[in-house]
């Protein structure tokens, strides 16, 4: 047999096998996101969908508070999944109305910001048109006149729009002081004058002009002396007024077919003719429901549900004060009206309002006041027995209700909308049974009594794991935490993501696909202060781990109060808590560990109030800390406080013990920097505690070493003079208070983001004159270094020594990818991988930039030397431009992006990135490519085929060589 065809076949097989390894780029398979809609405000029910309007609270860094924003979304009624979502621009801080087109329910109208009218498609969320009405006063109500015309009512005018095109057809001025209201399905507007007469104004659009020729009408409420109107609302064909004399005045409205006249009949019904209870009075009216139903609020905080049909007012039921009444749906179809009750035992009950709550049913066990807080609102749907329950934690629950006692309510789905306002985040490892223990022994080797004990513990643990494997039992300390990883986005080592929210709810999410593992609700969280921090006080290495949640809480007294809640971050269970009755000035983790592997949490409080020396409390505090660790804190632990009002930064040092039993320490001021009353402190940057510094020097092209000035105590303070638009970046040693260097930038905006990495400070700022986004970098090096010195102290160097020994480089680049919202350093486990700065843009994208591009030592083309090329320095260019596929968010955007959090994984090449704004986004990145793992798309079959083919070729080549050698010998 000839060997040539065989070799050809094998060669073709090898090529085909290699080609099987070429895959289309897998975009977005390593990331996930949670799309939020915010706090539910309005619902419109369709057959299979729910059109919802919600309110979002967006953080404004310039004002340090939250502003209102709004969203529209279409939810699947059966699953709660978002089919589409549209965010109203954040500049529009009011939302007046959402109106469904009854003539074509696939379209709807919204009014926002008082003068912006939009026409939307319900099917896909497409914006058909938008129109800005030029009005000196707010527009607040819209109604459909006919199939082609939309009427918009403003305080000073009435505007008619074309439904198809959105163009303004005509308008008419009205008196802005009369506060006109529309009467549904009529051409008339109405208002109540100072004499308690209801005036009706006819206004219509005909023949391309506004027609006001129809007769006007006026009806007196005939209120007695001292009787005042307490509320009013418009029904279908009727207007209802309530008065302080406990009367309900109903104006029945009938319009003639030609619209030329209006017939109004007035009825006055006394409250006590409807109910028998005495000693209560009418406070006002509340809400309008389908079928001309409405509620009247009474003085005992209960509500009276009434119905007006056939010119007759009747009572449906009395809603007691401890019940929450269903909020009106936008749907005009018949609906069931529900009421909810928050019980003292934590249960939440639901009942039909028409049955007067005779048969209340407790909601499923997953919904209660401890986990979710009280009921905030209820929305009924057109489908019989279904309703949406919104609780204080902003969660939305779809409930299927049955009035039968033997059929309890069923929870169909839940949306955790508090994730739309995340305050703080932290990432912690899940425990690995074998690997974690071996790593623990390696980590604790120096603290053991010797090699024999270390080796014995290691062997004992491995034997226990082996016995457990054969016995079928588990020694996994994390067996109570269940993570479902049955999806394509599998991480080798999933982590637990901790998030605190503005609603007062804390979440534990699995990093592999965003599954909510646990949640914990703090009902007394102070949303006005919105202060929350997370600290890992005990690592997963030592099970059980521990996290400290520091939150501000509401207090009945005028003094501020906070709570430190110590929880297990793997299941959310609280182990203990500490109440702090003083304003917290500073909180951080100390690099000091007690005898149970807890890192100490240091909290500086304003006690005594407004004194120059704050008191410091340490948690945990015990005899071991008092006798063994206090010496490590005295005159060594330093911290600083920023006073934004006075534009000062002041440093402190722990001096002595104030109360040895409670862990209260005294601190004394050591330095202070004042930037002047006309300055603003925009941001303060510091080193990332998770960053590992791998190399202390840069190897130059001539093989010399350039030592890095690595000082973890250096902070960068960005201050701005608003009058001159002058930005100053000041580098300060936070321990000694020495000012290292200052840099100024003219014509700067009041928005700065700062990142520290090793010996570099990277900051972003915007130039108001050139309208360019800049990224500047400061690189610090030392001229000489004592390489034998293994410790560094900020107190051992003077300002003159720093100035004489430091080499400081500075460069500025133009960032052309858009405005920068935030920046963060990509963290890896060992610090070997190339440093990347994650840039979050205003558009909600995240771009990783290799530190080599943001290098102050980049030479200009004229200054470049051969040694610079050999070192790998890129010649300096003022522009930083990167291709779109560099974005790690790909085609995903994070609206109102607020912050980015990163941490290393068990692979040095890979980092986990968490970003949050309105949405929560998580992905894995490999700054230097995944050099330590085969990618998920690696073709294992091709590798096996290639190996087999090479093995066969080896044998064939050997036999062929032997055959040729044998033939040669026979010649």
CB 404 within 8 A of CB 352: no
CA dihedral (797, 798, 802, 805) in degrees, to 10, reads: -70
Residue ending a domain, among 271, 291, 321, is 321
Give the chain's end-to-end CA distance (angstroms, integer).
21
Q: What is the mean pLDDT of residues 598-610?
A: 87
Lowest mean pLDDT among 160-164, 302-306, 573-577: 302-306
Residue-wise burial string across 478-497, b where 16 or more C-beta atoms lie within 10 A, e elsewhere:
beebeeeeeeebebeebbbb
567, 547 contact by CB (below 8 A): yes
Among the listed residues 228, 350, 248, 357, the one whose alpha carbon sits nearest the alpha carbon of residue 295: 248
The answer to whether residue 812 is domain-embedded is yes
- 806-840 core/surface letters (b: 16 or more CB in 10 A; e: else): bebeebbbebebeebbbbbbbbbbebebebbbbbb
What is the reported pLDDT for 885?
85
Is the model's pLDDT at 422 over the cut of 90? yes
**What's residue 453's pLDDT?**
65
Domain assignment present for 613: no
Higher pLDDT, 939 or 699: 699
At residue 171, the pLDDT reads 85
934: pLDDT strictly greater than 80: no
Query: In the predicted model, what is the mean pLDDT of the chain?
Result: 82
Section 145-158 average pLDDT:
85
Residue 229 CB partners (closer than 8 Å, separation 6+): 192, 196, 221, 223, 241, 242, 243, 244
Amino acid 329: pLDDT: 58
Look at residue 896 and tell me if it is in a domain.
Answer: yes
Last residue of a domain, one of 262, 297, 321: 321
- Full-model pTM: 0.85
Q: What is the per-residue pLDDT for 87?
A: 94
Q: E-strand spans in 606-725?
A: 615-619, 638-643, 648-659, 664-674, 680-685, 697-699, 705-707, 714-721
Spatial separation of the C-alpha atoms in residues 244 and 231, rounded to whole Å:
9
Per-residue tokens: 925: 């990145």
Confidence of residue 487 (pLDDT cuts 50, 70, 90): very low
Lowest mean pLDDT among 47-56, 206-215, 499-508: 206-215
What's the structural domain count of the chain?
A: 2
pLDDT level of residue 178 (50, 70, 90 thresholds): confident
Confidence at residue 2, expressed as pLDDT on a 0 to 100 scale: 57
The more confidently predicted of residues 664 and 37 is 37
DSSP label of 628:
I
- Top pLDDT among 130 and 457 is at 130
Judge contact between 30 and 924, C-beta under 8 A: yes
Q: Which residues pair with 388 in a beta bridge?
A: 379, 398
More confidently predicted of 22 and 714: 714
Rg (CA), the chain: 35
Nearest to 377 by CA among 99, 34, 54: 54
Lowest mean pLDDT among 263-267, 362-366, 806-810: 362-366
Element (H, E) at 226: none
In our burial notation (b when 16+ CB lie closer than 10 A, e otherwise), range 746-759 reads eebbbbbbbbbbbb
Q: Is residue 228 part of a domain?
A: yes
Listed as own residue / partner, the contacts of 43-46 with beta carbons closer than 8 Å and 24 or more positions apart are 43/329, 43/330, 43/331, 43/379, 43/381, 43/388, 44/98, 44/100, 44/108, 44/329, 44/330, 44/331, 45/77, 45/329, 45/331, 45/333, 45/335, 45/381, 45/382, 45/383, 46/77, 46/105, 46/122
Evaluate the CA torsion angle 466, 472, 473, 479 in order and state its sign: positive
Do 722 and 740 touch, CB atoms closer than 8 A?
A: no
Residue with the larger pLDDT of the pair 641 and 368: 641
Instruction: Give me the pLDDT at residue 433, please.
Output: 57
Q: Which residue has the higher pLDDT, 54 or 480?
A: 54
Does residue 446 fall inside a structural domain?
Answer: no
Confidence at 447, pLDDT banded by 50, 70, 90: very low
Q: Compute the distance between CA of residue 173 and CA of residue 925 in angstroms, rounded to an integer.
A: 59
Judge whether 584 lies within some domain: no
> Average of pLDDT values for 27-40?
84
pLDDT value of residue 475: 42
Q: Which residues pair with 507 in a beta bridge?
A: 499, 519
Report the SS3 class of residue 32: strand
H or E segment and range at residue 390 = strand 386-391
Range of the domain at 736: 710-930
Place of tokens 């109060």: 561
Q: What is the rounded CA–CA span in Å between residue 131 and residue 332?
A: 26
Say what the pLDDT of residue 938 is: 73
pLDDT level of residue 8 (50, 70, 90 thresholds): low
Would you say residue 485 has pLDDT above 50? no
Residue 300 phi, psi (nearest 5): -90, 15
Any bridge partners for residue 848, and if so which? 838
pLDDT at residue 244 tops 80: yes
Long-range contacts of 786-792 (CB under 8 A, 24+ apart): 792/710, 792/711
The distance from CA 751 to its chain's CA centroid, rounded to whole angstroms, is 20
- Does the pLDDT value for residue 6 go beyond 90? no
Whether 90 is covered by a domain: the verdict is no
Rounded Cα distance between 244 and 228, Å, is 5
Q: What is the pLDDT of residue 395?
A: 93
Q: Of 265, 295, 321, which residue is a domain's last?
A: 321
Q: Which residues contact 575 (CB under 8 A, 6 or more apart)?
A: 546, 566, 567, 568
54 assigned to some structural domain: no
pLDDT at res. 3: 64
Give the pLDDT confidence score for residue 417 in this predicted structure.
95
Q: Which of 137, 133, 105, 102 is nearest to 118 (CA)?
A: 133
What is the arithmetic mean of pLDDT over 213-218? 68
Confidence tier at 921 by pLDDT (50, 70, 90): very high
User: With b meaning 16 or more CB within 10 Å and e meaning fewer, what string describes 365-396?
Assistant: eebbbebbbebbbbbbbbeebbbbbbbbbbbb
Q: What mean pLDDT do residues 740-746 have? A: 94
The predicted model gives 263-278 an average pLDDT of 81
Is residue 913's pLDDT more than 70? yes
Q: What is the pLDDT of residue 558?
A: 56
Burial of 294 (0-12, 13-18, 19+ CB in 10 A): buried
């Amino acid at each position: 047999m000839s060997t040539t065809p065989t070799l050809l076949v094998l060669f073709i097989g090898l090529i085909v096998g290699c080609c099987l390894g070429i895959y289309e780029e897998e975009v977005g398979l390593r990331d996930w996101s949670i799309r939020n809609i915010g706090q539910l405000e309005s619902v419109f029910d369709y057959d299979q969908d729910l059109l919802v309007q919600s309110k979002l609270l967006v953080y404004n860094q310039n004002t340090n508070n939250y502003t209102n924003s709004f969203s529209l979304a279409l939810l699947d009624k059966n699953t709660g999944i978002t089919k589409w979502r549209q965010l109203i621009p954040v500049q529009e801080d009011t939302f007046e109305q959402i109106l469904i087109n009854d003539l074509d329910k696939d379209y709807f109208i919204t009014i926002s910001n008082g003068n912006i009218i939009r026409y939307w498609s319900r099917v896909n969320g497409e914006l058909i048109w938008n129109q800005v009405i030029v009005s000196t006063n707010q527009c607040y109500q819209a109604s459909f006149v006919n199939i082609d015309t939309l009427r918009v009512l403003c305080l000073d005018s009435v505007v008619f729009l074309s439904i198809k095109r959105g163009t303004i057809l005509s308008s008419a001025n009205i008196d802005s002081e009369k506060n006109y209201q529309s009467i549904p399905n009529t051409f008339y507007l109405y208002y109540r004058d100072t004499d308690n007469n209801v005036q009706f104004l006819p206004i219509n659009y005909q023949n391309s002009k506004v027609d006001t020729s129809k007769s006007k009408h006026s009806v007196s409420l005939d209120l007695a002396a001292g009787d005042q109107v307490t509320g009013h609302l418009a029904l279908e064909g009727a207007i209802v007024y309530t008065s302080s004399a406990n009367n309900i005045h109903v104006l029945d409205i009938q319009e003639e077919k030609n619209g030329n006249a209006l017939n109004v009949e007035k009825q006055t019904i006394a409250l006590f003719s409807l109910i028998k209870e005495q000693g209560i009075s009418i406070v006002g009216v509340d809400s309008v429901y389908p079928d001309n139903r409405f509620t009247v609020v009474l003085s005992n905080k209960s509500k009276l549900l009434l119905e007006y049909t056939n010119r007759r007012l009747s009572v449906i039921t009395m809603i007691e004060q401890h019940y929450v009444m269903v909020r009106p749906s936008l749907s005009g179809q018949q609906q069931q009206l529900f009421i909810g009750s928050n019980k003292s035992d934590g249960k939440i009950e639901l009942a039909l309002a028409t049955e007067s709550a005779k048969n209340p049913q407790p909601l499923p066990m997953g919904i209660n006041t401890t986990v979710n807080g009280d009921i905030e609102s209820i929305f009924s749907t057109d489908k019989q027995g279904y309703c949406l329950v919104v609780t204080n934690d902003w969660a939305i629950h779809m409930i299927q209700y049955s009035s039968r006692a033997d059929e309890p309510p069923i929870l169909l789905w839940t949306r955790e909308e508090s994730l739309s306002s995340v305050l703080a985040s932290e990432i912690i490892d899940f425990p690995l049974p074998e690997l974690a223990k071996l790593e623990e022994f390696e980590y604790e080797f120096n603290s053991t009594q010797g090699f024999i004990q270390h080796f014995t513990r290691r062997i004992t643990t491995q034997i226990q794991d082996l016995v457990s494997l054969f016995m079928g039992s588990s020694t996994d300390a994390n067996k109570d935490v269940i993570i479902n990883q049955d999806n394509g986005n599998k991480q080798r080592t999933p982590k637990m993501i901790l998030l605190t929210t503005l609603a007062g709810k804390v979440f534990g999410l699995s990093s592999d696909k965003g599954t909510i593992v646990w949640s914990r609700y703090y009902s007394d969280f102070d949303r006005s202060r919105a202060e929350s921090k997370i600290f890992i006080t005990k690592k997963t290495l030592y099970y059980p781990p521990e996290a400290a949640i520091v939150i501000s809480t509401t207090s009945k007294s005028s003094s501020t109060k906070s709570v430190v809640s110590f929880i297990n971050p793997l299941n959310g269970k609280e182990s203990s808590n500490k109440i702090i009755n003083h304003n917290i000035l500073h909180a951080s983790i100390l690099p000091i560990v007690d005898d149970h592997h807890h890192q100490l949490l240091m909290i500086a409080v304003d006690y005594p109030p407004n004194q120059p020396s704050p008191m410091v409390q340490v948690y945990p505090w015990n005899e071991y800390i008092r006798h063994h660790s206090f010496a490590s804190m005295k005159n060594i632990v330093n911290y600083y406080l920023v006073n934004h009002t006075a534009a000062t930064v002041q440093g402190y040092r722990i001096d002595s013990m104030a109360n040895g039993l409670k862990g209260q320490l005294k601190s004394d001021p050591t330095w202070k920097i004042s930037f002047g009353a006309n300055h603003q402190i925009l941001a303060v940057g510091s080193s990332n505690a998770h960053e590992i510094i791998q190399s202390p020097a840069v190897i130059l092209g001539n093989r010399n070493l350039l030592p890095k000035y690595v000082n973890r105590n250096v902070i960068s303070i960005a201050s701005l003079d608003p009058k001159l638009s002058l930005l100053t970046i000041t580098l300060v040693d936070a321990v000694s208070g020495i000012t290292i260097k200052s840099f100024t930038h003219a014509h700067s905006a009041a928005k700065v983001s700062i990142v520290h990495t090793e010996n570099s400070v990277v900051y972003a700022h915007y130039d108001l004159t050139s309208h360019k986004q800049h990224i500047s970098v400061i690189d610090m090096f030392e001229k000489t270094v004592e390489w034998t010195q293994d410790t560094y102290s900020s107190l051992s160097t003077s300002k003159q020594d720093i100035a004489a020994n430091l080499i400081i480089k500075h460069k500025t680049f133009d960032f052309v990818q858009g405005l920068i919202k935030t920046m963060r350093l990509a963290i890896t486990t060992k610090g070997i991988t190339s440093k990347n700065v994650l840039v979050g843009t205003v558009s909600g994208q995240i771009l990783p930039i290799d530190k080599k591009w943001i290098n102050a030592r980049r030479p200009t083309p004229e200054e470049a030397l051969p040694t610079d090329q050999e070192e790998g320095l890129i010649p300096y260019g003022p522009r930083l431009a990167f291709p779109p596929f560099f974005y790690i968010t790909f085609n995903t955007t994070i609206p109102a992006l607020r912050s980015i959090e990163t941490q290393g994984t068990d692979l040095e090449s890979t980092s986990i990135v968490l970003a949050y704004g309105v949405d929560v986004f998580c992905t894995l990145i490999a700054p230097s490519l995944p050099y330590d793992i085969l990618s998920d798309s690696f073709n294992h079959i091709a590798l096996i085929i290639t190996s087999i083919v090479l093995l066969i070729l080896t044998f064939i080549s050997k036999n062929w060589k032997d055959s040729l050698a044998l033939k040669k010998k026979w010649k």
